[in-house]
Amino acid sequence: MATRFGCTFLTLILLSSTLTGCFGFDDELQEEPEYEHWLPDVEDRSNKYYQDDDVFSRVSWNGSFGIDTVRSIFVPVPAITASDGGAGVTGGAEVHMGLWLPIIEGCDMDAAELPEECKVPVIAEIGPYYDDGDVDALTPADRLGRFLIENFVPHGFGVAQVSVFGTGESNHCMDLMGLDEQEGIHAAVEYLGDAPFSNGNVGVIGKSYDGSTPWEAAAMGSDHLKTIVPMSGLIGVHDLMWRNGSMEARGAIMHNGVYGSFGLDGDLEDAQNACEGYFEGYYAGVGAYLTGDNLAWTGSDYWEERHFLTRALQNYNGSVYIIHGLQDWNVDPHMAFPVHNTMLEAGFDVKGLYGQWGHDYPDRKSGHEGLNSGRGAEAFPHTLRWDWADDMLEWFNFYLKDKGPQPRLIAEVQDNMGGWRVEPNYPPPDQEWIYFDMDSCSIGGSNTITSTSSLIVECPEFDAETRIIGTPTFHVEATISLFASSGHLFVEMVQASSGMHLGHAVMDLRFHEGGGDGEILTPGETVIAKMEFFGMDVIIPSGDAINLIITQTGEDYVPSPVSMMPVTLSLDSSSLLGLSTVNRDCTDLFLPPMHPQYPQCSFEV
């Protein structure tokens, strides 16, 4: 089943029960390098060579351990009680996982007690897709599991594929990232940290839905959870589905209409879907569509319990490696920015990897090469990071084994022309803002925006190459219809010379101040719409310009019933376009491994 969260399911490849760790590219790299820091800084990897004949990247040197037979494990979740419904009523709520451990000479990994030299950390990928649109949890998944198993088990890590409640062989109901699901994830983390074979350290990694479960695990807190690697993950469900009160088309039906069916497979356990969260899903989506907010004023906590970031800041005590595609159409980049800097400011160890790919992994050629112009095509093939497996090995070695120097806590960022650079954080601290008022721009079209009309704002040319980064703003005076209690705006930023997409912003005018708190408007009321663009990192050549195309809606956002009437804009000196920029050029770029020199640079990077 393909969903906006969903993954592309690739060909199943089976592992034998005693498969050894001989997947490196060069036999000369079979032994671990003796020097302290085996992986060069990212700026110095351009001459490294990697195996690139599979669907994912490979570590450059192989571990010495074999891969043992997969173990099928059911973990009890005692926190689920009768008050939760579902399996809480029948008793015995549990989550299921497949677990791969290394073969370590002299170690019986199933023993009740093990010496320290036999204990290993565990990397878990947790999600709803095992047996539901993908392989079962006991088969290495091309989605991510095979990457983890073949790269890291030979290096002395365990790898677990865990099904959330209501999916795979886990019972209870499909709770779409609710507290029940979070309790199941927490139980899995605690089991993996307490097990005799474990050194007590657990990391959680994944993409999309599976990239949201790391945030769920962090929200619950655990002494065993040492690192999370959310890739295109949600910091909260409502946070993604609603942007300034505007709903994605899928927002109202995500729980029961899309994922709820995962728990319905025709067996006796279907009755376990009769739980609180499943019933709430029927009204919470529709209610939020009508109001644009999280329904807290009604007494509902449905959306609040599905917000993870705030509790992660309170309960989590580990590192964070955020990976996100700046062209992600599915889980938009505002799930990563300003989260990166928020976590840094709270004292967490944070690294970021932000490339011009879509809803994908950093190393998947099949996904990267099919992107359209303005949506990542110009950055390909430099989007592909064949050093990603090495990067993750360095990260897991330090945070799960306390081995080797600490990885650099930086942000690796790629612009829309393909150039990679290192920033101390993201957005970086040395931003400079450029402002255009609408008197300095040329306006084409009617100032009244209807469902069938558009207005084009042509801004002045730039005298020098300009790099727009982060989240630019557009503040515009807007008057709603005399026959409506709100209005809806969508603004696309394009390159003037080519019409190439650069970024976009969206708003329900009840939320004209931005954020998640709206207000009731009276018909005909005028407000200042403080719009903010989604995360972007784009270059405008010298002598070129940007245009704004203003419509009622765009992408897959759906105006609420109260905001579908015309909106009239006052485009004068009171309306400002704010562009957050940084001064960078080819001297600031680095070249990832196995790529040609950047065509936009006149010298070798």
Three-state DSSP at 405 gives coil
- Yes or no: say if 511 and 244 are a contact pair by the CB < 8 Å rule: yes
Each residue of 441-456: pLDDT tens digit? 999 989 999 999 999 9
Q: In this structure, are strands 242-243 and 536-540 parallel, antiparallel, or unpaired?
A: unpaired
DSSP symbols for 195-241: STTEEEEEEEEEETHHHHHHHHHHHH--TTEEEEEEES--SBHHHHH
Quick check: do 63-317 and 432-582 share a fold?
A: no
Amino acid (one-letter) located at 66: G
pTM value surpassing 0.85: yes
> In the chain, what is the greatest distance between 2 CA atoms, to the nearest angstrom?
79
Q: What share of the chain is helix, strand, coil (3-state, %, to 5)?
A: 25, 25, 50
Task: For residues 504 and 491, give the distance between their C-alpha atoms in angstroms, rounded to a whole number.
Answer: 5
63-317 CATH fold: Rossmann fold (3.40.50)
Each residue of 506-540: pLDDT tens digit? 999 999 999 888 999 999 999 999 999 999 999 99
- Four-residue CA torsion sign, 479, 480, 481, 482: negative
Take residue 263 and report the two structure tokens written for it.
Answer: 């728990």
- Angle formed by the axes of helices 145-152 and 388-401, nearest 10°: 70
Mean pLDDT of 485-512: 97
432-582 CATH fold: Jelly Rolls (2.60.120)
Instruction: Check residue 294 and give its pLDDT.
Output: 85
Each residue of 562-573: pLDDT tens digit? 888 999 999 988
Beta-sheet strand order (sheet of 246-248):
242-243, 246-248, 557-558
Query: Which residue do the tokens 């306006």 mark?
Result: 443
Each residue of 128-176: pLDDT tens digit? 999 988 999 999 999 999 999 999 999 999 999 999 999 999 999 889 9
Residue 28: is its pLDDT beyond 60?
no
Each residue of 200-247: pLDDT tens digit? 999 999 999 999 999 999 999 999 999 999 999 999 999 999 999 999
**Among candidates 332, 326, 339, 340, which has minimal Cα distance to 383?**
326
Residue 303: is its pLDDT beyond 70?
yes
HSE of 534, CA atoms in CB hemisphere, 13 A? 27
Residue ranges covered by each domain of the chain: 63-317, 432-582
Residue 103: is its pLDDT beyond 60?
yes
Spatial neighbors of 118 by CB under 8 A, at least 6 apart, are 104, 106, 107, 109, 197
